[in-house]
Copies of this chain bind each other. A is one copy, B any other.
Protein backbone atom coordinates (compact mmCIF):
# COMPACT_ATOMS: atom_id res chain seq x y z
CA UNK A 1 0.00 0.00 0.00
CA UNK A 2 1.44 3.30 -1.03
CA UNK A 3 1.42 6.20 1.37
CA UNK A 4 -0.44 8.53 -0.89
CA UNK A 5 -3.82 9.41 0.59
CA UNK A 6 -6.72 8.91 -1.78
CA UNK A 7 -8.81 11.51 -0.01
CA UNK A 8 -7.28 14.54 1.67
CA UNK A 9 -9.38 16.31 4.26
CA UNK A 10 -13.09 16.46 3.67
CA UNK A 11 -14.81 16.86 0.34
CA UNK A 12 -18.36 17.02 -0.91
CA UNK A 13 -18.88 14.59 -3.74
CA UNK A 14 -21.74 13.55 -5.93
CA UNK A 15 -21.42 9.85 -6.60
CA UNK A 16 -23.32 6.67 -7.18
CA UNK A 17 -23.54 4.26 -4.29
CA UNK A 18 -21.23 1.85 -6.04
CA UNK A 19 -18.64 4.54 -6.61
CA UNK A 20 -18.99 5.46 -2.96
CA UNK A 21 -18.14 1.90 -1.93
CA UNK A 22 -14.99 1.94 -4.03
CA UNK A 23 -13.84 5.29 -2.69
CA UNK A 24 -14.58 4.29 0.87
CA UNK A 25 -12.65 1.05 0.48
CA UNK A 26 -9.76 3.04 -0.90
CA UNK A 27 -9.87 5.56 1.92
CA UNK A 28 -10.32 2.76 4.43
CA UNK A 29 -7.10 1.16 3.29
CA UNK A 30 -8.43 -1.88 1.49
CA UNK A 31 -5.54 -3.68 -0.16
CA UNK A 32 -7.28 -5.93 -2.62
CA UNK A 33 -10.65 -6.60 -4.13
CA UNK A 34 -11.64 -9.91 -5.67
CA UNK A 35 -14.87 -9.86 -7.61
CA UNK A 36 -17.13 -11.28 -10.23
CA UNK A 37 -19.48 -9.07 -12.23
CA UNK A 38 -23.11 -8.98 -11.31
CA UNK A 39 -25.66 -6.23 -11.58
CA UNK A 40 -26.17 -4.08 -9.57
CA UNK A 41 -22.70 -4.12 -8.01
CA UNK A 42 -20.60 -4.01 -11.20
CA UNK A 43 -19.68 -0.41 -10.82
CA UNK A 44 -17.93 -1.09 -7.53
CA UNK A 45 -15.45 -3.16 -9.49
CA UNK A 46 -15.31 -0.71 -12.36
CA UNK A 47 -14.56 2.18 -10.09
CA UNK A 48 -12.12 0.28 -7.92
CA UNK A 49 -10.10 -0.97 -10.89
CA UNK A 50 -10.09 2.51 -12.38
CA UNK A 51 -8.98 4.45 -9.31
CA UNK A 52 -6.43 2.16 -7.67
CA UNK A 53 -3.30 2.46 -9.83
CA UNK A 54 -1.77 5.45 -8.01
CA UNK A 55 -2.33 3.78 -4.65
CA UNK A 56 -0.86 0.39 -5.36
CA UNK A 57 -3.96 -1.54 -4.46
CA UNK A 58 -5.01 -4.67 -6.27
CA UNK A 59 -7.92 -6.11 -8.11
CA UNK A 60 -8.65 -9.56 -9.45
CA UNK A 61 -11.66 -10.55 -11.48
CA UNK A 62 -12.19 -14.22 -10.71
CA UNK A 63 -14.01 -16.95 -12.60
CA UNK A 64 -17.13 -16.95 -10.43
CA UNK A 65 -18.49 -15.83 -7.07
CA UNK A 66 -17.31 -18.99 -5.36
CA UNK A 67 -13.77 -18.06 -6.28
CA UNK A 68 -14.23 -14.41 -5.42
CA UNK A 69 -15.47 -15.43 -1.99
CA UNK A 70 -12.71 -17.93 -1.32
CA UNK A 71 -10.02 -15.61 -2.64
CA UNK A 72 -11.47 -12.89 -0.43
CA UNK A 73 -11.01 -15.21 2.54
CA UNK A 74 -7.49 -15.95 1.36
CA UNK A 75 -6.53 -12.31 1.08
CA UNK A 76 -7.65 -11.71 4.64
CA UNK A 77 -5.89 -14.84 5.90
CA UNK A 78 -2.74 -13.52 4.28
CA UNK A 79 -3.12 -10.34 6.33
CA UNK A 80 -4.49 -8.00 3.70
CA UNK A 81 -7.61 -5.90 3.93
CA UNK A 82 -9.61 -7.71 1.37
CA UNK A 83 -13.15 -7.31 0.08
CA UNK A 84 -15.59 -8.37 -2.56
CA UNK A 85 -19.02 -7.29 -3.75
CA UNK A 86 -21.93 -9.30 -5.02
CA UNK A 87 -25.71 -9.59 -5.25
CA UNK A 88 -28.62 -11.98 -5.71
CA UNK A 89 -27.64 -15.32 -7.23
CA UNK A 90 -24.02 -14.33 -6.70
CA UNK A 91 -24.71 -13.88 -3.01
CA UNK A 92 -26.36 -17.29 -2.91
CA UNK A 93 -23.40 -18.87 -4.62
CA UNK A 94 -20.98 -17.10 -2.34
CA UNK A 95 -22.45 -18.64 0.79
CA UNK A 96 -20.01 -21.51 0.65
CA UNK A 97 -16.96 -19.29 1.22
CA UNK A 98 -18.89 -17.02 3.57
CA UNK A 99 -19.52 -20.06 5.66
CA UNK A 100 -15.79 -20.83 5.68
CA UNK A 101 -15.15 -17.27 6.79
CA UNK A 102 -17.48 -17.81 9.74
CA UNK A 103 -15.90 -21.12 10.68
CA UNK A 104 -12.34 -19.79 10.53
CA UNK A 105 -13.03 -16.31 11.87
CA UNK A 106 -11.77 -14.65 8.72
CA UNK A 107 -12.05 -10.84 8.71
CA UNK A 108 -13.13 -10.58 5.11
CA UNK A 109 -15.45 -7.78 4.02
CA UNK A 110 -18.44 -8.37 1.78
CA UNK A 111 -20.50 -5.73 -0.01
CA UNK A 112 -24.01 -6.85 -0.89
CA UNK A 113 -26.21 -4.87 -3.26
CA UNK A 114 -29.52 -6.65 -3.09
CA UNK A 115 -31.46 -7.32 -6.28
CA UNK A 116 -34.82 -8.95 -6.88
CA UNK A 117 -35.27 -12.61 -6.05
CA UNK A 118 -35.66 -15.50 -5.87
CA UNK A 119 -33.32 -16.80 -8.54
CA UNK A 120 -32.37 -14.27 -11.20
CA UNK A 121 -35.37 -12.14 -10.20
CA UNK A 122 -34.55 -8.66 -11.37
CA UNK A 123 -31.26 -6.84 -11.67
CA UNK A 124 -32.84 -3.83 -10.02
CA UNK A 125 -33.68 -3.83 -6.38
CA UNK A 126 -35.04 -5.64 -3.35
CA UNK A 127 -34.49 -6.35 0.31
CA UNK A 128 -34.84 -10.05 -0.28
CA UNK A 129 -31.32 -10.94 0.76
CA UNK A 130 -31.72 -10.14 4.42
CA UNK A 131 -32.09 -13.74 5.56
CA UNK A 132 -29.35 -14.87 3.18
CA UNK A 133 -26.90 -12.20 4.25
CA UNK A 134 -27.52 -12.50 7.98
CA UNK A 135 -28.01 -16.26 8.27
CA UNK A 136 -26.90 -17.80 4.97
CA UNK A 137 -24.81 -20.92 4.58
CA UNK A 138 -24.89 -24.02 6.74
CA UNK A 139 -24.03 -22.09 9.85
CA UNK A 140 -25.21 -20.02 12.74
CA UNK A 141 -25.00 -16.47 11.45
CA UNK A 142 -21.67 -15.38 12.90
CA UNK A 143 -21.63 -12.31 10.73
CA UNK A 144 -21.78 -8.61 11.24
CA UNK A 145 -24.11 -6.89 8.79
CA UNK A 146 -24.59 -3.16 8.40
CA UNK A 147 -27.70 -2.20 6.48
CA UNK A 148 -27.10 1.26 5.08
CA UNK A 149 -29.64 3.78 3.80
CA UNK A 150 -27.77 6.56 2.04
CA UNK A 151 -24.45 7.36 0.44
CA UNK A 152 -22.99 8.96 3.50
CA UNK A 153 -23.63 5.76 5.35
CA UNK A 154 -22.26 3.67 2.52
CA UNK A 155 -19.05 5.62 2.88
CA UNK A 156 -18.97 5.61 6.65
CA UNK A 157 -19.88 1.97 7.11
CA UNK A 158 -17.66 0.64 4.38
CA UNK A 159 -14.73 2.19 6.21
CA UNK A 160 -16.09 0.94 9.49
CA UNK A 161 -16.61 -2.56 8.14
CA UNK A 162 -12.87 -3.02 7.74
CA UNK A 163 -12.31 -1.95 11.32
CA UNK A 164 -15.05 -4.16 12.63
CA UNK A 165 -13.81 -7.15 10.68
CA UNK A 166 -10.22 -6.75 11.79
CA UNK A 167 -11.11 -5.99 15.38
CA UNK A 168 -13.51 -8.85 15.96
CA UNK A 169 -12.50 -11.28 13.22
CA UNK A 170 -15.95 -12.08 12.02
CA UNK A 171 -16.85 -11.63 8.34
CA UNK A 172 -18.38 -8.20 7.99
CA UNK A 173 -20.94 -6.97 5.50
CA UNK A 174 -22.19 -3.71 4.14
CA UNK A 175 -25.61 -4.42 2.73
CA UNK A 176 -27.18 -1.99 0.31
CA UNK A 177 -29.41 -2.58 -2.68
CA UNK A 178 -29.72 -1.84 -6.37
CA UNK A 179 -31.36 1.52 -5.84
CA UNK A 180 -28.60 2.75 -3.60
CA UNK A 181 -25.99 1.18 -5.86
CA UNK A 182 -27.10 3.14 -8.90
CA UNK A 183 -28.44 6.26 -7.26
CA UNK A 184 -26.41 9.40 -7.58
CA UNK A 185 -26.43 11.66 -4.56
CA UNK A 186 -24.20 13.88 -2.48
CA UNK A 187 -22.02 12.91 0.43
CA UNK A 188 -18.89 13.99 2.23
CA UNK A 189 -15.85 11.88 1.62
CA UNK A 190 -12.93 12.11 3.97
CA UNK A 191 -9.78 10.49 5.16
CA UNK A 192 -10.77 8.46 8.20
CA UNK A 193 -7.52 9.00 10.11
CA UNK A 194 -7.90 12.76 9.75
CA UNK A 195 -11.30 12.42 11.33
CA UNK A 196 -9.71 10.62 14.22
CA UNK A 197 -10.92 7.21 13.15
CA UNK A 198 -8.14 4.83 14.00
CA UNK A 199 -7.81 2.26 11.24
CA UNK A 200 -7.09 -1.22 12.58
CA UNK A 201 -3.96 -2.83 11.18
CA UNK A 202 -4.53 -6.16 9.52
CA UNK A 203 -2.63 -9.17 10.89
CA UNK A 204 -1.84 -12.26 8.86
CA UNK A 205 -3.09 -15.62 10.05
CA UNK A 206 -0.63 -17.48 7.81
CA UNK A 207 2.79 -16.56 6.46
CA UNK A 208 4.02 -14.66 9.47
CA UNK A 209 7.74 -13.89 9.57
CA UNK A 210 10.20 -16.62 10.40
CA UNK A 211 10.84 -20.14 9.27
CA UNK A 212 8.15 -22.50 10.51
CA UNK A 213 9.54 -25.28 12.64
CA UNK A 214 12.60 -23.19 13.36
CA UNK A 215 11.63 -19.69 14.39
CA UNK A 216 8.02 -20.50 15.14
CA UNK A 217 5.65 -23.42 14.90
CA UNK A 218 3.85 -23.88 11.61
CA UNK A 219 0.26 -22.65 11.47
CA UNK A 220 -2.35 -25.24 10.56
CA UNK A 221 -5.80 -23.81 9.99
CA UNK A 222 -8.84 -26.03 9.70
CA UNK A 223 -12.59 -25.81 9.33
CA UNK A 224 -13.43 -29.50 9.68
CA UNK A 225 -13.40 -31.63 12.79
CA UNK A 226 -13.30 -35.33 13.38
CA UNK A 227 -15.62 -35.46 16.37
CA UNK A 228 -18.94 -33.88 17.19
CA UNK A 229 -17.47 -32.72 20.47
CA UNK A 230 -14.67 -30.76 18.80
CA UNK A 231 -17.08 -28.89 16.57
CA UNK A 232 -19.41 -28.33 19.49
CA UNK A 233 -16.66 -26.65 21.48
CA UNK A 234 -15.82 -24.36 18.59
CA UNK A 235 -19.47 -23.48 18.05
CA UNK A 236 -20.05 -22.64 21.68
CA UNK A 237 -16.88 -20.61 21.88
CA UNK A 238 -17.59 -18.57 18.77
CA UNK A 239 -21.21 -18.07 19.69
CA UNK A 240 -20.21 -16.79 23.10
CA UNK A 241 -17.72 -14.42 21.57
CA UNK A 242 -20.29 -13.26 19.08
CA UNK A 243 -22.80 -12.63 21.84
CA UNK A 244 -20.20 -10.93 24.00
CA UNK A 245 -19.10 -8.46 21.33
CA UNK A 246 -22.64 -7.81 20.15
CA UNK A 247 -23.06 -5.11 22.73
CA UNK A 248 -20.14 -3.23 21.25
CA UNK A 249 -21.29 -3.65 17.69
CA UNK A 250 -25.01 -3.19 17.51
CA UNK A 251 -26.30 0.11 16.17
CA UNK A 252 -29.80 1.39 15.73
CA UNK A 253 -31.76 4.60 15.74
CA UNK A 254 -35.21 5.50 16.89
CA UNK A 255 -37.55 8.42 17.07
CA UNK A 256 -40.48 8.93 19.36
CA UNK A 257 -40.09 5.40 20.66
CA UNK A 258 -41.37 6.28 24.09
CA UNK A 259 -45.03 5.79 23.53
CA UNK A 260 -46.05 5.98 19.90
CA UNK A 261 -49.42 4.91 18.62
CA UNK A 262 -47.64 3.32 15.72
CA UNK A 263 -43.97 2.44 15.56
CA UNK A 264 -42.63 1.85 12.07
CA UNK A 265 -39.69 -0.48 11.65
CA UNK A 266 -37.58 -0.80 8.55
CA UNK A 267 -33.97 -1.09 7.46
CA UNK A 268 -31.82 0.08 4.61
CA UNK A 269 -33.22 2.27 1.90
CA UNK A 270 -36.78 1.74 3.07
CA UNK A 271 -35.85 3.61 6.20
CA UNK A 272 -35.52 6.75 4.09
CA UNK A 273 -39.20 6.62 3.34
CA UNK A 274 -40.06 5.72 6.90
CA UNK A 275 -38.02 8.66 8.12
CA UNK A 276 -39.73 11.04 5.75
CA UNK A 277 -43.19 9.71 6.46
CA UNK A 278 -42.80 9.76 10.23
CA UNK A 279 -41.40 13.28 10.12
CA UNK A 280 -44.37 14.41 8.06
CA UNK A 281 -46.90 12.67 10.24
CA UNK A 282 -45.33 14.03 13.40
CA UNK A 283 -45.58 17.47 11.89
CA UNK A 284 -49.24 16.73 11.39
CA UNK A 285 -49.46 15.96 15.07
CA UNK A 286 -49.70 12.19 14.77
CA UNK A 287 -48.10 10.20 17.53
CA UNK A 288 -45.90 7.93 15.45
CA UNK A 289 -42.29 6.86 15.73
CA UNK A 290 -39.76 4.65 14.11
CA UNK A 291 -37.08 2.14 14.93
CA UNK A 292 -34.33 1.34 12.51
CA UNK A 293 -31.70 -1.35 12.97
CA UNK A 294 -28.40 -0.31 11.42
CA UNK A 295 -26.78 -3.61 12.28
CA UNK A 296 -29.25 -6.21 11.14
CA UNK A 297 -26.85 -8.82 12.52
CA UNK A 298 -26.30 -8.66 15.43
CA UNK A 299 -29.51 -6.82 16.16
CA UNK A 300 -29.78 -4.16 18.84
CA UNK A 301 -32.30 -6.31 20.64
CA UNK A 302 -32.53 -4.23 23.76
CA UNK A 303 -33.43 -1.04 21.95
CA UNK A 304 -35.70 -2.92 19.61
CA UNK A 305 -37.66 -4.63 22.37
CA UNK A 306 -37.94 -1.40 24.25
CA UNK A 307 -39.33 0.41 21.26
CA UNK A 308 -41.76 -2.35 20.39
CA UNK A 309 -42.90 -2.69 23.98
CA UNK A 310 -43.65 1.03 24.27
CA UNK A 311 -45.61 1.17 21.05
CA UNK A 312 -49.31 0.56 20.70
CA UNK A 313 -48.87 -0.94 17.27
CA UNK A 314 -45.95 -1.83 15.09
CA UNK A 315 -45.65 -1.73 11.34
CA UNK A 316 -42.73 -3.48 9.66
CA UNK A 317 -42.13 -2.19 6.15
CA UNK A 318 -39.80 -3.97 3.78
CA UNK A 319 -39.19 -4.75 0.14
CA UNK A 320 -39.36 -8.45 0.84
CA UNK A 321 -41.97 -10.91 2.02
CA UNK A 322 -41.52 -10.58 5.75
CA UNK A 323 -37.83 -11.34 6.13
CA UNK A 324 -37.33 -8.47 8.55
CA UNK A 325 -40.66 -8.98 10.24
CA UNK A 326 -39.74 -12.59 10.99
CA UNK A 327 -36.57 -11.47 12.69
CA UNK A 328 -38.32 -8.71 14.60
CA UNK A 329 -40.94 -11.12 15.86
CA UNK A 330 -38.33 -13.63 16.95
CA UNK A 331 -36.32 -11.00 18.78
CA UNK A 332 -39.45 -9.54 20.36
CA UNK A 333 -41.00 -12.79 21.43
CA UNK A 334 -42.86 -12.31 24.66
CA UNK A 335 -44.10 -8.84 23.81
CA UNK A 336 -47.68 -8.38 22.76
CA UNK A 337 -47.71 -5.22 20.74
CA UNK A 338 -49.53 -6.10 17.53
CA UNK A 339 -47.10 -6.22 14.62
CA UNK A 340 -48.23 -5.98 11.06
CA UNK A 341 -46.22 -6.00 7.91
CA UNK A 342 -46.16 -3.99 4.73
CA UNK A 343 -44.34 -6.04 2.15
CA UNK A 344 -43.45 -5.04 -1.39
CA UNK A 345 -41.06 -7.77 -2.52
CA UNK A 346 -38.61 -6.37 -5.02
CA UNK A 347 -40.33 -2.98 -5.18
CA UNK A 348 -39.50 0.35 -3.68
CA UNK A 349 -41.52 1.73 -0.80
CA UNK A 350 -42.22 5.46 -0.70
CA UNK A 351 -43.20 7.76 2.13
CA UNK A 352 -46.81 7.97 1.03
CA UNK A 353 -47.04 4.17 1.20
CA UNK A 354 -45.92 4.33 4.80
CA UNK A 355 -48.26 7.17 5.65
CA UNK A 356 -51.19 5.35 4.15
CA UNK A 357 -50.42 2.16 6.04
CA UNK A 358 -49.80 3.94 9.31
CA UNK A 359 -52.99 5.92 9.04
CA UNK A 360 -54.94 2.77 8.32
CA UNK A 361 -53.45 1.26 11.46
CA UNK A 362 -54.29 4.36 13.46
CA UNK A 363 -57.90 4.13 12.38
CA UNK A 364 -58.28 0.48 13.31
**Quick one: given A89-B99, A235-B321, A329-B329, are A228 and B138 in contact (CB under 8 Å)?**
no
With A and B bound together, what is the CA distance between A334 and B335 in angstroms? Answer: 6
* A136 lies within 8 A of chain B by Cβ: yes
Contacts of A223 in B (CB 8 A): 118-121
Contact in complex: B136, A136 (CB < 8 Å)? yes
- Which of A122-130, A151-159, A184-192, A288-296 touches B? A122-130
**Quick one: given A93-B96, A330-B330, are A228 and B116 in contact (CB under 8 Å)?**
yes
* A327 lies within 8 A of chain B by Cβ: yes
With A and B bound together, what is the CA distance between A115 and B323 in angstroms? Answer: 26
Contact in complex: B104, A236 (CB < 8 Å)? no
Chain B residue nearest in CB terms to A337: B334
* A135 lies within 8 A of chain B by Cβ: yes
* A254 lies within 8 A of chain B by Cβ: no
Closest CB in chain B relative to A140 CB, distance in Å: 4
Chain A residues 137-160 with CB under 8 Å of chain B are: 137-142
Closest CB in chain B relative to A111 CB, distance in Å: 15
* A346 lies within 8 A of chain B by Cβ: yes
Taking each of A228, A322, A345, which has the highest tally of chain B beta carbons within 10 Å of its own beta carbon? A228
Chain B residue nearest in CB terms to A114: B138
* A102 lies within 8 A of chain B by Cβ: yes
Contacts of A129 in B (CB 8 A): 138
With A and B bound together, what is the CA distance between A133 and B320 in angstroms? Answer: 19
Contact in complex: B348, A228 (CB < 8 Å)? yes
* A215 lies within 8 A of chain B by Cβ: no
Closest CB in chain B relative to A223 CB, distance in Å: 4
The digit string for A203-235, where 1 denotes a CB below 8 A from any CB of B, is 000000000000000000001111111111001
Contacts of A344 in B (CB 8 A): 232
With A and B bound together, what is the CA distance between A142 and B321 in angstroms? Answer: 11
Contact in complex: B92, A117 (CB < 8 Å)? no
With A and B bound together, what is the CA distance between A96 and B66 in angstroms? Answer: 12
With A and B bound together, what is the CA distance between A7 and B307 in angstroms? Answer: 60
Which one, B88, B227, B332, B347, contacts A333 given CB within 8 A? B332
Contact in complex: A137, B92 (CB < 8 Å)? yes
Chain B residue nearest in CB terms to A64: B66
Chain A residues 82-105 with CB under 8 Å of chain B are: 88-89, 91-93, 95-96, 99-100, 102-104
* A338 lies within 8 A of chain B by Cβ: yes
Which 3 A-B residue pairs are closest in the complex by CB-CB distance? A118-B139, A103-B119, A120-B224
